[in-house]
Amino acid sequence: MRSKLILIAALLMGIVTTVLFFNYMKQYKEAPALSRNLISVVAVKQEVRMNTKLSAGMLEVVQIPMESVHPSALKNPSEAAGKVTASNLAAGEILLSNHLKDQQEEAQFVSKKVKDGYRAVSIGVNIVQSVSNLIEPGDFVDIVFTKAEKLTEERISTVLLENVHVLSIGRRMVEAEVDTPHVEYSQVTLELKPADGIKAIHADEDPDGIVSLMLHSRIVKDAAKEQPQAKQ
């Protein structure tokens, strides 16, 4: 009787050992298969706004399962660096070809840069009113209107509109590169709500008033975007 129990125990241990061995071998064989089924694609490291020129530092290469890869996913960071985003992108989002546009396309149509519900409005500026012609497409400005009181002739300046997006300067609609030749401009095109556009036009056409622009800091805006969002 005792020998039968020993035999049964030995058989059970043999079965358990065999099952464990086959499970181990199955996992061992599947591990290389999983690594072979991964593919490298390009993603953005941080949240990126529409009409942002991508730099290599904004991009990273991530690996995802081959069956999950979109046909338009970019595989090499060089395909994206230097291109302009055609939409807002969330941090970690995989870059698709339709997310990007090159600067040549960006420079052809200002209408493609205007957000829904906004209008493109141009105002005249001289070199002083345009911060010494240092304003660039993509900057944000405040519009200041200065006018003299008729009775006292005292000049009073008021902020007409704040935080206005600059679409173009003169006929240039992309930010200057290192080798972009400097050309003085006398018009700035702004992205405004229709009602605000009318205010800007009236101020620009007022013969007794002057419209000037105050330039916002890009460093402050970039730092604000990097701050973590407060939990609701």
Say if residue 118 is in the same domain as residue 218. yes
C-alpha count within 13 angstroms, C-beta hemisphere, residue 33: 6
Same structural domain for residues 121 and 200? yes
CA dist 167 and 219 (Å) reads: 19
Residue 72 lies in a domain: yes
Tell me: the pLDDT tens digits for 179-220?
A: 888 889 999 999 999 999 999 999 999 998 999 999 999 886
User: Which residue reads 């129990």 in tokens?
Assistant: 5
Which of 101, 122, 142 is the endpoint of a domain?
101
Burial 103-120 (b: 16+ CB within 10 A, else e): eeebeeebeebbeeebbe
Q: What is the CATH number of the domain that holds 71?
A: 3.90.1210.10
**The last residue of a domain, from among 101, 125, 145:** 101
Maximum mean pLDDT: which of 21-30, 51-60, 114-123: 114-123
User: 195 is in which domain, residue-wise?
Assistant: 113-226
Question: 131, exposed or middle or buried, with CB in 10 Å at 0-12, 13-18, 19+?
Answer: middle
Q: Is residue 222 part of a domain?
A: yes
Pairing mode of beta strands 119-124, 187-192: antiparallel
**pLDDT score recorded for residue 229:** 45
At 232 the pLDDT is: 38
Mean pLDDT of 148-158: 85
CA dist 135 and 113 (Å) reads 17
Confidence label for 3 from pLDDT (cuts 50, 70 and 90): low
Domain total of the chain: 2
